[in-house]
Amino acid sequence: MKNPWDTLPEKFVQKLTLLTGEKKSQQILESFCNHKPPTFRANTLKITADELEKNLKDEGFHIQRVEWYPNAFILLDQPQKLLTATKWYLEGYLYVQSLSSMIPPLVLDPQKDDLVLDLTAAPGSKTTQIAAMMENSGTIIANDKSRIRLFKLVANLKLQGVTNTQVLQIPGQFLWKKFPQYFDKILVDAPCSMEGRFVCDSPKSYTDWSPRKVEFLEEQQKFLMRSAVSATRKGGIIVYSTCTLSPEENEAVVDWILKKDAGKIQLIDITSPTLPSEQGITSWKNKIFDESLKKTIRIFPTDTMEGFFIAKFQKIA
């Protein structure tokens, strides 16, 4: 196993230690150097989780159901390439996805007749999950500014049998102009520095990281959140998520939008007693955040989970 202290960016290691403390940061850093088992979910537009579980076990797969999400599975002691060679993968009966990535749609909790926006949707992991949760009813607008990534999004929607989704290519920060106060629910799964997904033996996962990049992304995330607030109807729900650990991209962005749109939005509790999560922080370095940041959640990397941050807002005016 590689040594994460010798592999990962030194400034990131220092920052993580400041954020979580010596003992916890050591556990997190070691998790970056341990190979996580493949995880996936049943595409309930095509098959039930029980049926998929039986079929895969009949074919010799060793899988484990996830306690907090019965549609999700962990592949035990077998390589992912075995799973992706099956008809269940090739014909869209399942979707390979990290467990942490499945949580934001669960928090968004879309209902059958909702009008939903996935603001930065490609390649479609969460869009397809939302469509399955809505049973292909209601309407989803799946937006992404990248034309190349949109091809992958469209392909995934088709393979998974999604029929309630329209695809748009608009810079997310401007989408509110086309849809002012329009959506019931919006997912802002923001582009981020991806610290929660670092892998020691995959340099491409971390060599692009820098404090300057974190600052740049923080500004982009703020623009996306402002757009989301403007595009949500009164009473609607916004879920903001990232796969990073940086407070600058997480709690600081949430605190900023709460102040910027004071009186329009409020944080609401994320309720799931079995989720492997912790409260968001209310201070970082010399900054004090709103006490309601305790309603946000952090998921720290483990041997099965990637790092994630999730906040849930309601628009009140």
The torsion angles phi and psi of 15, rounded to 5 degrees, stand at -65, -45
Helices within the chain (DSSP H only): 4-7, 10-20, 22-32, 49-58, 80-83, 87-90, 103-108, 125-133, 147-159, 175-178, 211-231, 251-260
243 is catalytic: yes
Give the HSE-up count for residue 135: Cα atoms under 13 Å, Cβ half-sphere. 4
Closest CA to 114 of 105, 104, 123: 105
The sheet with strand 63-66 has its strands ordered as: 63-66, 69-75, 39-42, 94-96
Give the dihedral of Cα atoms 258, 263, 265, 269; nearest 10 deg: 80
- Annotated catalytic residue, options 33, 192, 200, 243: 243
- Rounded to a whole number, what is the distance in angstroms from the first to the last CA of the chain? 52
- Please give the structure tokens belonging to residue 10: 């030194």
Distance CA 244, CA 241 (A): 9
Q: Which residue has the tokens 């952090």?
A: 298
What does each C-alpha distance from 121 to 182, 256, 287 come to in angstroms? 18, 23, 31
Distance CA 41, CA 124 (A): 14
Distance CA 309, CA 315 (A): 20
Report the catalytic residues: 243
